[in-house]
Chains A and B, each alone.
Chain A
Amino acid sequence: GAVVSQHPSRVICKSGTSVKIECRSLDFQATTMFWYRQFPKQSLMLMATSNEGSKATYEQGVEKDKFLINHASLTLSTLTVTSAHPEDSSFYICSASDNQQYFGPGTRLTVT
């Protein structure tokens, strides 16, 4: 099956700093990638849809200036959490789509 990777798998940062998370489709090209957020014992919440070469589409309630998404190529999308706060601590998961959605392993962000 298709493989999606994320880096880093775990990151701890101080409040006020920015963190970049990478999502890569390793064996297929993905014109569309998705970014999700998951809190403990809760389901995935879609944050934004990222299309290669164009601006991301954000879900209602997600601050586009805080969660910067760049989909620079057909195999790479990045999510940058700017001026992170402790409430941004969460599990961030990306997925990449060809004829199905394939999820990355997730990135656990802890903001201290």
Chain B
Amino acid sequence: GIQVEQSPPDLILQEGANSTLRCNFSDSVNNLQWFHQNPWGQLINLFYIPSGTKQNGRLSATTVATERYSLLYISSSQTTDSGVYFCAVDRMDSSYKLIFGSGTRLLVRP
């Protein structure tokens, strides 16, 4: 099946710093989503981005489908950005089920 790898696995930042999270996937995809999981376990949609670039406030994402990777940029990080960031994809011939990476655990210190 399709493999989804995220890096780095853990990241500690000082408030105000910028960061880049990476997601590599091993096959062509129909759908790619980035999520933020808060400390209570809720998965919050950040981006639906199978290709191209999107921005939402301090967050932006870029997916290069032909090279099978996606990047999530966090600028001017805040303590509320702490949590786990997941990338999830579904294959082009799949039943729309999402395959998740193992996540990047982010801690932003004040």
Q: Do A and B bind each other?
A: no
B contact set with A: CB distance below 8 Å: none
